[in-house]
Each structure stands twice: as structure tokens, then as C-alpha cells.
A and B are shown apart, each in its own frame.
Chain A
Amino acid sequence: MDEDVLTTLKLLIIGESGVGKSSLLLRFTDDTFDPELAATIGVDFKVKTLAIDGNRAKLAIWDTAGQERFRTLTPSYYRGAQGVILVYDVSRRDTFVKLENWLNELETYTTRMDLVKMLVGNKIDKDDREVDRNEGLKFARKHSMLFIEASAKTKDGVQCAFEELVEKILQTPGLWESDNTGQRLQLGEQQQGGGRACGGYCSIP
């Protein structure tokens, strides 16, 4: 069934507990919203195939628990991820303030230096917003991330967030074509070997 799939991408969803990571994922994969979604224990896992520009990419998305105590466990699964969605709750400033910690954690545990990061401000359907859109924008710019505000409840921005992230990953050379990294290497080698081999060339007068 994976025959027409261009590549499999590993994505991560991280962020403080209760910001709606699992809800975002559920909205994206099953297009449903469950207000009574149990708190994730450890990590959860979902798969979805997405078509971007005619290419089909299979997404293996790892959803993580946000609780402090689980952070001894979950970062182990960061390995090999090509993209990460960092979620905060626009109606809870404390979840925004902690973003910096999450980035540090990413830095420490991810294996790829060039993975694509996306910041998602979730729960924009709520009335009691505490974090302004501009603050989110500013943070994302500072850390060179993609940024979008979304609501898993109303569907706003969810699909777009995932698509945007995947597109960006596919555009980043060397990030997903694990076997085809040769092209760049060969370039480097060509630069090195400058001498042309030709019987007609003369080296000594």
C-alpha cells in the first residue's frame, strides 16, 4: 500500500500538558474533536498519508505527554524526527512562557540539526485569550520557526499547519531523502578534483 508514497516522515508534537496536542492530532488524522480526551501517557502514535504537490508522504506522528515527569521518557522518541510541532495554549500564558524550555529540550535530544520546527498557538476559539498573535509571531521569528494559530475544536488552521510543515520538510534538501544525499556530496568532490584527464594535455614543455 505504500508503493506510491514518496517518503515517510517522522513528526513530533510537543508542548506543555493540556495545550491540546492530542486534540490537534486527532483533528488532523480523524477530523474529529473529543472534548474528553484522556491525558496522554508517555507517547502516542498516529499515521496519516498526505498529498503535497502531487507527492504522497506518509506521516508517522508521535504525540507526547506534556507532564514534567514524562520528560525523562518522551525525549527518547525525538530521535530521527524531521519535523516538530510545538504547541501552546493561547488562553494560558504559562504554556507560552515554557516554550523556551521545550526548544532547549529539542536541541538536546534531536539528532538532526536541520529539522523543521512549527509553532502552533492552539485554542483560539476560546474567549479568554492571554497570548497575543503577535507574541507568537515574534517568538517564531526569533527561533526561525513556522507559525500558525489554530483550534482543534473549530478545525481552524489544523490541516494547514500539518501541510505547511510537510511541504517545508520536502523542500529542505537532505532532510528526508536519506539515501539520496549523494548529489550534494558529489558536488563537493567535483570541486576538489580540478585536473582534467586528457591525453592531449601537456604538462611539461
Chain B
Amino acid sequence: MAADSDTESEVFEITDFTTASDWERFVSRVEEVLNEWKLIGNSEEKRLSEKSEFTSGTWEENFEEINFADFKFEITYHFLKQEHVKSNKKEELEEDAVPLAVQNLLSENNDFPPRAHCLVRWYGVQEFVVISPGSNCEAIISESKCNLLLSSISIALSNSGCQVPVFVQIQHKWRRMYAGECLGPGLRTDFEMVHLRKVPSQYNHLSGLLDVFKSKISCTISPVPPVSIAIRFTYILQDWQQYSWPQQPPDFDTPLGGEVGGVEFGKLPFGACEEPISELHLATTWPRLTEGLVVDNDVYSDLDPLQAPLWTVRVRTTENPQCLLGDVLSEFFKLCCIKETAEEILGRGMAEDEGKENSDISSALSKLTEPSATVPIHKLSVSNMVHSARKHIRRQRHMDESPLNAGILNTILLYLFPDAAVEKPSEYTKTKSEQSNTPGKTEQDKNSDNLFSQLKSAPSDSLTYRLALCLSLVNYNYGGLRAVAHVWQEFVLELRYRWENNYLIFGLAGGSPDLRCCLLHQKLQMLNCCIERKRARDDARKVLDEGKERAHRESGSSAAAVTSTKEVSPGKSWDSWSDSEEEFFECLSDQGDMDAPQTEEEKTGSKRKAEGRLHQYNSMNLLNSSEPLYVPVTQEPAPMTEDLLEEQSEVLAKLGTSAEGTHLRARMQSACLLSDMESFKAANPGCILDDFVRWYSPRDYVEEEVVDDTGSLVMKGHLSARMKIPGNMWVEAWETARVTPARRQKRLFDDTKEAERVLHYMAMQKPADVTLHLLPCLIHGTILKLKEEEATENIPSVQISLQQVVSQASRLMQTPARDYKRLEEFINRLIAMETVITQARSLKAKFSICDKAENREDLEIFVRSLLEEPEVLVIGAGQGPAGSIIHRMFVSAQRAAVLAPLDEDLNQERQSTESSRVPDFPSPAGREILLRTCVPRPAPYSKALPQRLFCVLLKDEFRLAGAFSSDTCFF
């Protein structure tokens, strides 16, 4: 098939490829691929790998599929990535330099790499190509097929001039059998392999293997060049004996014995339930021995692991050990996918109760709307009320059907609502709720830990956060889904109870819903806002009644009424104080019917009494009178949760961008402005719009120096141009505004309606919804827990991971739509961190780091690298501090394996005698022997070329991987 045209002939010959066989096509395809990957010729960019570069460097691979007829092969190029070599190396490259792979055969820089392709381990090559049958194709087993493949390679290599060794995988995949070839200028290396199940006894030691090697290279010159030997024995330790995992799996039942008190619902569990480190592999290496220096035959061996100059250790970790924190988290996450509602889960009995409960509630509601029905709150203790309510609820339940028993449920509820438990409830709750309602608190949170806003969860001391931890633990320990549904129902009931009885919900920052938190948290805050408003209103009404009575009795001694007002409503939070203030004025002024002839009075001007003043404004006076200008008491704007906001902005946006839309939008939002104007009018009788603008929008009142009639400068003010536009919304609103103090205005915020909306929303949530709501909080808690646990261990990889995880979580949590798959991956990442921490703990315990003060630091470094590196060098080998610990471990494991269990003192007595009989180490699980030399082949006068034999002796595997080079110049 040669395509070269004959130069002598003058006839044009047609080159015909049409009859090319499958085999020819296959060979040319291999050549094509080698060309594509630029593996042709002696590459200048590559250099011989340096010491342990196989481990530190990065390996890459190129991959392609090729066909032999309809049989699919995968061809892969594996190579160690190298930085470009400096140009001075170029000079050394000669035309007939030995290929890199052949140089690799003798290099001692990278013997026994801890993590590498098996061909790298066996042949030490730093680049190679493998052709193996495609994933669905059968193995190449018959000898003729193997030979065909090998010939293909030979042809491809010599055609293309590629100096990278090419291997073909033959026999069954699991046998990892390869044959290969490497062609260089004037030389050729054959890679051959023997693979047996049992080690033949004559080759079960160094001397036997040396014989094989020598006979194979059949060196004819004398003296025979020495064979260099590297040996590595690997011992496996599986039996940890007294070094075993120290952590006891936690006993979940004890803390809930009832009397023990401190139930740890707020604490996420942590740690592995099983030994996270399954095996320790000790590799003892003799890196450079020469033939004759060491004896190892079937009767005697010099190879004592304790004397090996090089010890390396690696640990095998248990795959996915059961870890508590991870379990809690992933079990909770599983709830997200459950479709049923709480009623469906808990059964019909519960649902019926719900119905009863609801009817009770509605009647209670109607009662509440009656002013006479209000209870004198200060006389009742909160805990009494809460408990009696709960008993009442529970009595209706079918106890046997509820998945949680009363004791546990009570502890849970007390954990969630600790204010209900205290002996002196009224004072405690008041101070506590005030504490948690101070705005300064949220500031602190922001500074110390803004994790919650990154994760959109909730502050770590909030009810929402506690609910998340609690439900996750309830799910994990106390009955799973049914229990979660049950607790949630109880939770919603408790919320309703608190709303109806004017008890603030404990453990929430006061004020409007914090939009940085999760929606559920916002809803709870919203409910608290409603309770606060309602409470203020009820208090006010009560005071009003009292005040009226008193007014009758004491004939208008208003001062007394003032003090009493202040006494009765001390439990108010910071943002409702203005409401109580409002009442103060109410008492002062509520003597006649003001509401009726308003327009009349407005016209007559300042004769009316002022109402609802908050304080004087910048010692300004009204423009048309000498009265000071007062800031009125105003209605607080309606608090909003993010879903409400979304709704509202949608409504506003839907109005469009036309002038009309803008006008409508302004009108819709002018309720607040109007209310403020009315309050202002009430507080400042005789005021005009200019006065209002001076307070409300000072920049729209322009003051200028004007020369008056007498010639002196005076300040004159007027409204800005935009306020003077006829018919503008401000003027319009001012004209329609009546004189009404805030407390008599229509409420801008209908707390009853909003509270019912929140409670309805809560009641409608399925357990899965609740789980989704709370997931950010649980992830928040998990991250905090991991941080806490990591702090004592100081593991750099976990530290880095933790940082990444926070930003990853913040991305996941900020988007409203949950991506389950990504969440699951994320959770697995958290679990992986817990596993690493438990592994570190286990290793620390095993290497008894706490005991020895002197070597502590070295050992700590050693343990840390065990976790981070595939294989760790033991400093001082068997004699070093870590080495002696490892030695002890093996000794005790050996003794335990060989001896029958004895009493301890007996054991100690016998120790001296027994230890001589029992070897310190078990027989090696694996032996690797590497033989290298450089001899001329095939004839004594040929060039001396690298020869190598790598022997692997395992319990059920015997493998000889040989690479034998020969000079091809004259043969």
C-alpha cells in the first residue's frame, strides 16, 4: 500500500486505497491519532521527571475512540504535565537519544508512586498510550488477536516514528494485563507481562525473582553488570484493639427521662457512629539494594520491616461512615419531597380535632372583638395560660394516636417557647420579650455574625432557628415525619393561642419583618407585629374605660389618668410606645364629641383643641399663628413580609408607566400621606399646607432673604414650584385631609386580618413546605456546628471548605427556587466535612496525641498529612515517634490475633515469653520487588540498554511486568 511514486517512471500511477483492509485502516487510524496528539518524533518539550514528580505533578489524558472493523477500541494518552523546559536542555537532545520512556525504566526518582496508573507503577513511564477494548466490547483473549494488535502497534510506531510507548490491554479487564512496545532510534523495548493467581513457590522470594530476571536478559558478557533492587513490603492493620474509635454513640433516651431537665434540642449531634478509619497500610521500603547485599530466599530473609530505611503510611477511610450531623441533615432534607399534608400524615382523628379547635377559635375571635371581653392581662400569668391552653388542646386529642408522648412534646414546646416555663412569668416574659425586641439587638447580630443574612436563614437565637434544629432532631430521633407534622401542628396552635391572648412570641427581633431572613421568620415577626398592635389597642381601650370612670369620679383629674396609663402598659415594645402616648392625649382631650362638625371647625380655624401631638418641631412656629409647630403622632406604616411586598410591587408595576398609571400609583400610596396630614392637622390647629411641608419635605419650602418695605432684610418663605402645581397630589390630599388624630383614623394596618392571614398560611403548610422553609436555618446550624468542631481540630482542608461552603450556600439559598439536586450535592459536601473531622479525631486518638507532650507537634503534623496526602513518610521510619506507635499497634493486633483472650495480668506476665514467638508484624499483604539493570542485548557488542522487571506478590496475585530493550541497529 505504499503511496510513494516511483521517481524513475514517467507514467502517472494511480494509488489505490479502495481495497485497504480493516486492519490497514485500523493501523492508519492509530497513526492518525498519534499524529493528532503530536506524539511523533522526539519531543523537545519533555524532560525526565524529577524526584517524586509523579505524585506532586498533575496527570492528564487524551482520549479517542477508534474502530477495528466494527470492534470499538479506546485509545488514551496518559502523560505527566510538565512546564516547558528551559532551552539549555535542548543541546543535550541528540538525534538518537534514548526515548523518555526507556530512560524512565532506570530512573529511581519515582519508584512506588502512591497514586498512579498501574502502568506507571510497573514501568515507571511518564507518558504512554493505551489501547483497550471499548466499554461494551469483549476482551482480547485469543493469542492471535493479541498478536495482531501488537503487530498493528509495531507498524504504527515505525510508520509514524512515535517514541511514546503504546500498550494494548489484553485478557479480561480485571487482570490488568498489558503488552506494549516502544520504538526509539536503533532500539526497541518490549513490555511483557505474566499474571498468575498463585505465587509459584520458587519465585516467592528475591533470589528466585532475580533468577527469572537474569535468565530473561540472558546477559553474555562478564562480569555481569550488577542488578539494582528496590523492595517494598506493605502491611495492613485492620484490628485497632485499644486504639479504636473512642466516641460512644449518643444515647438518645436518657436526656428525655423527664427529670434530667436540660433537653438538648438546641444542640445538633456530631460525630461518627462507627470507626471512620478502616485500615492503616504501612509500606516498608528498601529503595536501593544491590544484589548480594541482602539475602531473601525460601529459608531466610534479611528483610525485617523494622529495619527498613523508609516507612510510609496511608490510611483507608471507611466509605460513608454513619455520622450523626450528616444523618440529621439528610434525613431532614428527605422530608422536602413528601407530598402529604399534615392531616393526611396524622390521620383523620387529628383533623377532626383541628376542626373543633377552629370553631372554638372563631368564637373566641368574635369574643375578642367585643371590648368587654378583654381579659385583665396583668393579673394572669403567662405560663398558667399557656399550660392550661395546651392541656385543653391535648385533652381533645386522642393521646394514643399522637406520635409523640406528652412528656417529649412538653419538653419540645418548652424549648421552643421558654417564656412559658418560668415561675414568675409576667415579669420574665416582659423583660425577655423586651430584650429580644430591642432594635439594638439586630444591630449586634449583624456585626457579630451575618451568616444568617447570607444564608437567608434566621438569627441563631431566634425561634425560627430553634424550630429548625428541633424539628430536625424530632425527625431523626423521635418518630420521623409523623412527629414533625405533630410538632408543627402544636406550634401553629401555640401561635394562635398567643395571638388570641396577646402574648408576644418569644425569641424574635422586634419591628417589621427582617427581609434578610427566611420567609417563615418574617411571617413570625409579622404575627408579632400584629400581636403588638392588638395589645396596644386593647390596652388603650382598657385605659380609656378606666380613664372615663376616673374622670367621672375625680372630675377630670387628668394627671392621674396619665400616670395610670403609663403604669398599665409597661410591657410595650419600643415601636408601640407612640400608641400609648396617643392615649395620653386621648385622656386629656376626650371630653366632647369632636368628630361630628369637622368641616365647620376647620373653617373657623385655630379655635379647636390640638390632639395627638408628639413633640415640638425644631422650635418652629406655625406660619399663621404664634403657636409652635408640633410633630403629630402618626400611624406606623404597615409591616410587610417579602411575599406581601412582592404582591404589592407587582400590583404597582402592573399599573404601567403611563402618566395615568403614575397618578394611580401615587394615589394608591397616598394613604400614608393623607393619614399623616390628618394627624398633622389635628396636632396643629390653624396650620396650612406650608406648615406641613416644612415638617414633611423641608426642601420644598424655599426661604429667601427679601428686602421688605422698611429696607431691612427679612426671611420670606414659600412653597417650591412643584408643590404649587395646581391639582398636584399633595395639595389635593391636603384639601381632602380631615382633622383627625392618628388614633381615630382608619387603621392603615389591619392587624386582625394580617394575623389571620399569617396563621392561615402557617396552618396550610405541609411538612415538606415547613422543611423547605427551615432548611436554610438547619444548614446555618450545621455550618456553625462544623465551625465549632473544626476549631478544636484545626484541619486546613476543612477550613477552606467551610469558607467555600458559605458562599456556595448563600448562592443556593438566595434564589427562591430550590434546586434539589444541587442542594443534595451541597449537603453531601457538608457531610464530607463532618467525616473528615471525625477521621482526624480518630487518628489523633490512635496516635495518642494528647499523651506525649514532646512529640506532640510532630505527631500532629503527621496526622494532618495522613488525611491530606495519599501517602505519608514516617520520619525516622520504625524508630521515630510515629513509627514506634505504629509498631505498637501492629504488635498488639498480632498478639490479639494469635493469642486466646487472657486476663490482663496474665497477659502481662506472659508478654516477655510470648513476644518472642509472635512476630511483631503479620506477613506482608503485598510485596513489590523492582529489578533494574543496563545490559547489552541481544549480542554482547550491542548497546547497553535499560532492562527492568517489576514483581508484584500478593496473596492471590503474582505479576511480573518486564520491560526489555534491545539494540535493533544490526538485527
Question: Which chain A residues have a beta carbon within 8 Å of chain B's beta carbons?
Answer: 16-18, 29, 35-47, 60, 62, 67-70, 72-73, 76-77, 79, 92, 109, 111-113, 174, 178-179, 181-182, 184-185, 188-189, 192, 198-205
Ordered by A's residue number, 27 sampled pairs between the chains whose C-beta atoms are within 8 Å are A18-B697, A18-B699, A37-B722, A38-B725, A39-B730, A41-B666, A41-B729, A45-B653, A45-B661, A67-B696, A67-B697, A69-B676, A69-B696, A70-B672, A73-B637, A79-B645, A109-B515, A112-B814, A185-B812, A198-B117, A202-B116, A202-B176, A204-B281, A205-B234, A205-B926, A205-B928, A205-B952
Q: Is the CB of A41 within 8 A of B645?
A: no
Q: Is the CB of A192 within 8 A of B697?
A: no
Digitize B408-424: 1 where CB-to-A-CB distance is under 8 Å, 0 elsewhere.
00000000000000000
Known A-B contacts A18-B700, A199-B173; A76 and B825 likewise in contact (beta carbons under 8 Å): no
**Assembly CA distance A198 to B176 (angstroms):** 12
B623 sits at the interface (CB 8 A): no
Q: Is the CB of A45 within 8 A of B652?
A: yes
Note all chain A residues with C-beta closer than 8 A to B814.
111-112
Q: Is the CB of A38 within 8 A of B730?
A: yes
Chain B minimum-CB-distance residue to A61: B657
Known A-B contacts A18-B700, A76-B645; A201 and B665 likewise in contact (beta carbons under 8 Å): no
Q: Is the CB of A38 within 8 A of B728?
A: yes
| Among A17, A47, A72, A76, contact of B657 (Cβ-Cβ < 8 Å) | A47
Q: Is the CB of A205 within 8 A of B112?
A: yes
Main secondary structure of the interface of A (DSSP, over half): loop
Q: Is the CB of A192 within 8 A of B669?
A: no
Q: Is the CB of A76 within 8 A of B640?
A: yes
Q: Is the CB of A41 within 8 A of B700?
A: no
Note all chain A residues with C-beta closer than 8 A to B176.
200, 202
Digitize B826-839: 1 where CB-to-A-CB distance is under 8 Å, 0 elsewhere.
00010010000000
Note all chain B residues with C-beta closer than 8 A to A113.
454
B662 sits at the interface (CB 8 A): yes
Q: Is the CB of B669 within 8 A of A17?
A: no
In order of increasing CB-CB distance, the 10 nearest A-B pairs are A42-B669, A202-B118, A18-B699, A38-B728, A205-B926, A41-B666, A72-B637, A67-B697, A46-B657, A36-B725
| Among A18, A73, A182, A205, contact of B669 (Cβ-Cβ < 8 Å) | A73
Known A-B contacts A39-B722, A42-B665; A73 and B672 likewise in contact (beta carbons under 8 Å): yes
**Assembly CA distance A69 to B156 (angstroms):** 84
**Assembly CA distance A38 to B454 (angstroms):** 39
Digitize B702-730: 1 where CB-to-A-CB distance is under 8 Å, 0 elsewhere.
00000000000000000011110100111
**Assembly CA distance A196 to B878 (angstroms):** 32
**Assembly CA distance A202 to B123 (angstroms):** 13
**Assembly CA distance A201 to B118 (angstroms):** 6
B563 sits at the interface (CB 8 A): no
Note all chain A residues with C-beta closer than 8 A to B725.
36, 38
**Assembly CA distance A16 to B699 (angstroms):** 9
CB B770 to nearest CB in A, in angstroms, measures: 23
Chain B minimum-CB-distance residue to A78: B515
B72 sits at the interface (CB 8 A): no
Note all chain A residues with C-beta closer than 8 A to B729.
38, 41
CB A158 to nearest CB in B, in angstroms, measures: 17
Known A-B contacts A17-B699, A36-B721, A38-B722; A200 and B117 likewise in contact (beta carbons under 8 Å): yes
CB B285 to nearest CB in A, in angstroms, measures: 11
Near A by CB (< 8 A), chain B positions 11-68 give none
Note all chain B residues with C-beta closer than 8 A to A77.
645, 649
Known A-B contacts A44-B662, A111-B515, A202-B121; A174 and B811 likewise in contact (beta carbons under 8 Å): yes
| Among A68, A112, A185, contact of B822 (Cβ-Cβ < 8 Å) | A185
**Assembly CA distance A41 to B673 (angstroms):** 8
Note all chain B residues with C-beta closer than 8 A to A111.
456, 515-516, 814
Residue of B634, B637, B700 with highest tally of chain A CB at under 10 A? B637
Chain A minimum-CB-distance residue to B516: A111
**Assembly CA distance A204 to B281 (angstroms):** 9
**Assembly CA distance A198 to B169 (angstroms):** 14
Q: Is the CB of A43 within 8 A of B657?
A: no
Q: Is the CB of B808 within 8 A of A188?
A: yes
Q: Is the CB of A40 within 8 A of B801?
A: no
CB B950 to nearest CB in A, in angstroms, measures: 10
Q: Is the CB of A205 within 8 A of B232?
A: yes
B290 sits at the interface (CB 8 A): no
**What's the tally of chain B residues with a CB closer than 8 Å to chain A?**
70
B303 sits at the interface (CB 8 A): no
Digitize B735-754: 1 where CB-to-A-CB distance is under 8 Å, 0 elsewhere.
00000000000000000000
Q: Is the CB of B119 within 8 A of A200?
A: yes
Note all chain B residues with C-beta closer than 8 A to A68.
696
Q: Is the CB of B926 within 8 A of A43?
A: no
Near A by CB (< 8 A), chain B positions 132-156 give 132
Q: Is the CB of B697 within 8 A of A39?
A: yes
B619 sits at the interface (CB 8 A): no
| Among A42, A45, A189, A202, contact of B825 (Cβ-Cβ < 8 Å) | A189
| Among B642, B652, B657, contact of A29 (Cβ-Cβ < 8 Å) | B657
Note all chain B residues with C-beta closer than 8 A to A39.
697, 700, 722-723, 728, 730
**Assembly CA distance A199 to B812 (angstroms):** 34
Note all chain B residues with C-beta closer than 8 A to A205.
112, 121, 232, 234, 283, 926, 928, 952, 954
B359 sits at the interface (CB 8 A): no
Chain A minimum-CB-distance residue to B952: A205
**Assembly CA distance A184 to B807 (angstroms):** 11
Note all chain A residues with C-beta closer than 8 A to B405.
none
Chain B minimum-CB-distance residue to A107: B446
B804 sits at the interface (CB 8 A): yes
B130 sits at the interface (CB 8 A): yes
Chain B minimum-CB-distance residue to A30: B657
Note all chain A residues with C-beta closer than 8 A to B665.
42-45
**Assembly CA distance A189 to B661 (angstroms):** 48
**Assembly CA distance A205 to B590 (angstroms):** 95
Q: Given contact pairs A17-B697, A204-B281, enumerate 10 new A-B contacts (beta carbons under 8 Å).
A: A18-B720, A37-B722, A42-B666, A43-B669, A62-B649, A174-B811, A188-B804, A200-B130, A202-B117, A202-B118
Digitize B943-971: 1 where CB-to-A-CB distance is under 8 Å, 0 elsewhere.
00000000010100000000000000000
Chain A minimum-CB-distance residue to B727: A38
B670 sits at the interface (CB 8 A): yes
| Among A47, A112, A174, A192, contact of B829 (Cβ-Cβ < 8 Å) | A192
**Assembly CA distance A45 to B945 (angstroms):** 83
Q: Is the CB of A42 within 8 A of B672?
A: yes
**Assembly CA distance A203 to B120 (angstroms):** 12
**Assembly CA distance A67 to B808 (angstroms):** 38
| Among B116, B516, B652, contact of A43 (Cβ-Cβ < 8 Å) | B652
B363 sits at the interface (CB 8 A): no
Near A by CB (< 8 A), chain B positions 574-599 give none
**Assembly CA distance A40 to B723 (angstroms):** 11
Note all chain A residues with C-beta closer than 8 A to B649.
62, 77
Note all chain B residues with C-beta closer than 8 A to A76.
515, 640, 645
**Assembly CA distance A177 to B666 (angstroms):** 32
CB A109 to nearest CB in B, in angstroms, measures: 7
**Assembly CA distance A205 to B928 (angstroms):** 7
B815 sits at the interface (CB 8 A): yes
**Assembly CA distance A46 to B516 (angstroms):** 26
| Among B637, B811, B825, contact of A184 (Cβ-Cβ < 8 Å) | B811
Note all chain B residues with C-beta closer than 8 A to A188.
804, 808
CB A97 to nearest CB in B, in angstroms, measures: 13
Near A by CB (< 8 A), chain B positions 95-145 give 112, 115-119, 121, 130, 132
Note all chain B residues with C-beta closer than 8 A to A60.
653
Chain A minimum-CB-distance residue to B817: A179
| Among B642, B666, B812, contact of A79 (Cβ-Cβ < 8 Å) | B642
Q: Is the CB of A41 within 8 A of B926?
A: no
Note all chain A residues with C-beta closer than 8 A to B811.
174, 181, 184-185
Note all chain A residues with C-beta closer than 8 A to B118.
200-202
| Among A44, A73, A182, A189, contact of B666 (Cβ-Cβ < 8 Å) | A44
CB B530 to nearest CB in A, in angstroms, measures: 17
CB B310 to nearest CB in A, in angstroms, measures: 14
Note all chain B residues with C-beta closer than 8 A to A42.
665-666, 668-670, 672
